[in-house]
Chain A
């Protein structure tokens, strides 16, 4: 995996650069930004995140489990308390709800980790400390023959620094 990373100071410059690169069809583009910006999200037109799926499944699993456990136990020890039916679903709804929230949120986090591929052991190439502070970064994964054009395009759109990484 090799490519060019360009460091930008301004947001609109980054946007313009990405536009140009997309026209150039140099290769996969990824952007680093200190804070999420809609402009950048819309330039790289990705599908919506699938984290929601994890959330849904987790929530359903939790709710089911939350009903199953008390009902199974009521069946195991049929002891009457306070003259109430041994398996009584009303109080068990609370257990079910809490477990839905618990397992649902944990599943969401798991979903985030999986989809966003964290935790990461290595930073991989193309990252720069400045990207978490104030600068925007554009990483273009491209074969050596395209690197010249990409570098050129980035510079032209005002990249303060352009370097190749492998």
Chain B
């Protein structure tokens, strides 16, 4: 795959440059360009590839520790999309936003082009691999010679699989201690507690088996644990509608997980343990009530419900100074309730988190550096300078280390301080494996040749070892891939078999090195003792993780699922408190502790306890490339160094702060217009009771407006009006014979189909994986990077200006509406994915003066980019506001707003045209996939099989909420779902648009006592 790809695949990516630049000329000569173009063939043709036809290489996602299976869609030598691996037991074909965005890490414009070395004047300058390796070998030799190898240090970003073992072997060969496996996101306390209670680090959480779920600050849908499998399980549970589990969330802040709960109990940070004890009966309700500021009655009811309902599932994820105690108490509670074995399954454990070093260990290592005891530091993937509180002064500690080697591929804060950078391959370029579950090996293989002059760290280490006569013998394998295959259970044959499915059975070689003695962490005072007037909650951003996602524009432009803010840090503050302080959304607040202060705009939020402010973690980089540097603030700057004494887990929620209003103001960069539905029925829900009534037919009038009702006549052979309106006959008196290719009897037969989609709001958790999947599939530009800033916007040179003007391009967006809560009480969050509804009577079509949008016979609302002149009338007339306009030349490399700077353009999907300046675009129901399937079927002389393919959003959805297909054909799943009794069309009653998207109402589970309406 290493030769030049044929341009034919690439050319389309720069589409509309013609229309943009040479527009006048092309108008005259009919858009046929006469630039000299070369057809560059392969030198030797790789056998397994066909030009313009994708190969899918099964591999493993390395964006977080979980190790989901992915398929690398590769064409003409370029991997341009990651899709979930359906055969993988962990993620079953789903993939989260961070996993989707891995490809932007691969082509990141700010990656190191090759090895770098710090020169005399202290600058990092490019060098050659030979020179770099020579220097490295020499330093290693020096350290060994000096006899200080024992105190050398290797910090590795945590990953499961063989690499830790390999690494420890290598280190041992040099006489160095085992490496530290770093994952700032891992909940060390819960892991330690699980080890103690169950003997595994992360039991399988079977939400679907539960009748009641109580989460005490465990954000299992955000970043807590292995969120994709957890989300799949949770969605499956919620899809059981009537007997789905009721979900109660206890915590100071209503996270995305909390927003999916039927009930939110707002408690003070630090009081979780008291609540857990109260629930288990160990503690008294009154203490818990006073500590947590929760009414006794509420706790009483919850305890009663908990004892009354079986099976149930209780989780804890609060990261305080008593985290492990809490986790143990919850595990004990689960045991009492008989959850272990039914909803908590230690025998199906997730092993991805085995071997993670505790934060205390890392801290001890840093102390060692500061004390000058570390002669040589090697860092791969981890970025402690960013992820540990500034109070720890890692930077200073690093300066005490004589020689620092970074294997990072990106210029992050840590590698910028190192003396030698040996950039690692991106996961998509490297070999490896992971052990996500017991007896499951998830293999990792490269999808393509390296983009830049990087080398896989394991190979570098082998090369170094080979160069060292003392240990060369230990590393006979020519490279890491061989090393893997040699040790793979079953040898190369089973390895090859595993490569095809992406997963194999067996257990990878364990690390030979002895576990390091756990560091004794210095305990921190309980949060209630700290000084300040408000509690500070620092939580990992759902999209940016530990900050490693911050250099990917998709993730930066990815609105926070709860607050819908992007390209910006913010301080969440309760609305009552805000009124008291005279703070309004956008007022810049100063959050101060003894350790420091940060300033960020306030976001007035119902979903946070009134004594608490919260800041997301992951932004505030000072380096790490053009998309990350200088965006937002890093809350770690104000955190004290405190640990949970038992587990050595870092206490993120450990301090109070003083919050003051600076008087400055900055508009909040949000995609949210109005957070309320104003009774327009966009996101609808019913309670379990109403659902039962519906099933029993006791709610006729509600059913009337739904598809499938015989209130509109439609063509024979096409069942629902939704299918019939593809022919435009539902509301017009057009005669059958006048329909031409819109008649099902037409020779083309296209009109026999009606592409449609159902979105099950009971399943949807609002995680927005579909949004990123759409960006990846449809070449959607990101518009709000600092360099794309428009100087006519409110802000100058600051990220987000285009989004302040509402110019984000998300073809599918997650709308989050609040229900209730105006009185400061509990409230409900409704998530509804909004995309082009492909209306049968589309208001956008008749107003286009040039046929740039029209209704295709198979029921698509087609947007023809190259015909569009940009009157934008269609968008004015679209009631769903799902049409997006290219205000700038996002797709034109010559323009300052070009969205894919050098190498990012390699990620573009060759099947989809990149839109140029001044044209309208919108969701196409992935028409390129439809056509591809049709072509494939034609080539194989058959019809398209039911559910043969699906859209990108549906494919990625970790909740399996989206279903796509042909509503006119009973064999497709969507045809059945479209007639579900929960189904409704948005705005159908007001506007008679006959959308092709059917939403299935969310189902709420009110507390047994007070049955609140939806």
A and B touch in the complex (CB under 8 A): yes
Q: How far apart are A88's CB and chain B's nearest CB, in angstroms? A: 8
Give the residue of B725, B738, B843, B853 whose beta carbon is less than 8 angstroms from that of A86: B738
Assuming the contacts A85-B733, A86-B734, A86-B740, asked whether A80 and B851 have C-beta atoms less than 8 A apart, the reply is: no
Is A82 positioned at the interface, with any CB of B under 8 Å from its CB?
A: yes
Assuming the contacts A83-B732, A83-B842, A85-B733, asked whether A78 and B994 have C-beta atoms less than 8 A apart, the reply is: no
Is B840 positioned at the interface, with any CB of A under 8 Å from its CB?
A: yes
Assuming the contacts A79-B854, A79-B855, asked whether A84 and B846 have C-beta atoms less than 8 A apart, the reply is: yes
Is B730 positioned at the interface, with any CB of A under 8 Å from its CB?
A: yes
Contacts of A81 in B (CB 8 A): 842, 845-846, 848, 851, 853-855
- Contact residues of B: prevailing secondary structure: loop
Per-residue interface assignment for chain B, residues 836 to 857, with 1 indicating a CB less than 8 Å from any chain A CB and 0 otherwise: 0000111111101001011100
Give the residue of A79, A82, A83, A85 whose beta carbon is less than 8 angstroms from that of B738: A85
Is B648 positioned at the interface, with any CB of A under 8 Å from its CB?
A: no
Q: Report whether B741 and A82 are in contact in the complex, using a CB–CB cutoff of 8 Å.
A: no
**A-B pairs with beta carbons under 8 A, tally:** 55
Bound CA span A83–B854, Å = 9
Is A72 positioned at the interface, with any CB of B under 8 Å from its CB?
A: no
Q: How far apart are A71's CB and chain B's nearest CB, in angstroms? A: 12
Contacts of A83 in B (CB 8 A): 725, 728-732, 840-842, 855, 994
Q: Report whether A80 and B733 are in contact in the complex, using a CB–CB cutoff of 8 Å.
A: no
User: Which of B728, B730, B739, B843: most chain A Cβ within 10 A?
Assistant: B728
Q: Report whether B848 and A80 are in contact in the complex, using a CB–CB cutoff of 8 Å.
A: no
Give the residue of B730, B740, B844 whose beta carbon is less than 8 angstroms from that of A78: B740
Is B535 positioned at the interface, with any CB of A under 8 Å from its CB?
A: no
Q: Number of A interface residues, CB 8 Å?
A: 11
Within 8 A of B (CB), among A19-41: none
Q: How far apart are A89's CB and chain B's nearest CB, in angstroms? A: 13
Q: Number of B interface residues, CB 8 Å?
A: 27
Q: How far apart are A48's CB and chain B's nearest CB, in angstroms? A: 43
Within 8 A of A (CB), among B816-872: 840-846, 848, 851, 853-855
Within 8 A of B (CB), among A29-80: 77-80
Bound CA span A80–B743, Å = 11
- Contact residues of A: prevailing secondary structure: loop
Contacts of A78 in B (CB 8 A): 739-742
Bound CA span A87–B842, Å = 17
Q: How far apart are B154's CB and chain A's nearest CB, in angstroms? A: 64
Contacts of B853 in A (CB 8 A): 81
Q: Report whether B846 and A82 are in contact in the complex, using a CB–CB cutoff of 8 Å.
A: yes
Q: Report whether A84 and B728 are in contact in the complex, using a CB–CB cutoff of 8 Å.
A: yes
Bound CA span A82–B844, Å = 7
Closest residue of chain B to A86 (Cβ to Cβ) is: B738
Contacts of B739 in A (CB 8 A): 78, 86
Contacts of A84 in B (CB 8 A): 728, 732, 734, 846
Closest residue of chain B to A81 (Cβ to Cβ) is: B845
Q: Report whether A77 and B851 are in contact in the complex, using a CB–CB cutoff of 8 Å.
A: yes
Bound CA span A60–B661, Å = 74
Q: How far apart are A17's CB and chain B's nearest CB, in angstroms? A: 62
Q: How far apart are A67's CB and chain B's nearest CB, in angstroms? A: 17
Per-residue interface assignment for chain B, residues 733 to 773, with 1 indicating a CB less than 8 Å from any chain A CB and 0 otherwise: 11000111110000000000000000000000000000000
Assuming the contacts A85-B733, A85-B734, A86-B734, asked whether A80 and B742 have C-beta atoms less than 8 A apart, the reply is: yes
Q: How far apart are A70's CB and chain B's nearest CB, in angstroms? A: 12
Give the residue of B844, B855, B994 whose beta carbon is less than 8 angstroms from that of A80: B855
Q: How far apart are A90's CB and chain B's nearest CB, in angstroms? A: 12
Q: Report whether B742 and A82 are in contact in the complex, using a CB–CB cutoff of 8 Å.
A: no
Q: Report whether B727 and A80 are in contact in the complex, using a CB–CB cutoff of 8 Å.
A: yes
Contacts of A79 in B (CB 8 A): 851, 854-855
Instruction: Sample 10 A-B pairs with CB under 8 A, ordered by A number.
Output: A79-B854, A81-B848, A81-B853, A82-B846, A83-B842, A85-B728, A85-B733, A85-B734, A85-B738, A86-B734
Q: What 4 A-B pairs are tightest by C-beta distance, nearest first?
A: A83-B841, A81-B845, A83-B728, A82-B846
Interface residues of A (CB under 8 A from B): 77-87
Query: Could you list 6 further interchain pairs (A-B, Cβ under 8 angstroms) beyond the known A79-B855, A82-B844, A86-B740?
Result: A81-B846, A81-B848, A83-B730, A83-B732, A85-B732, A86-B739
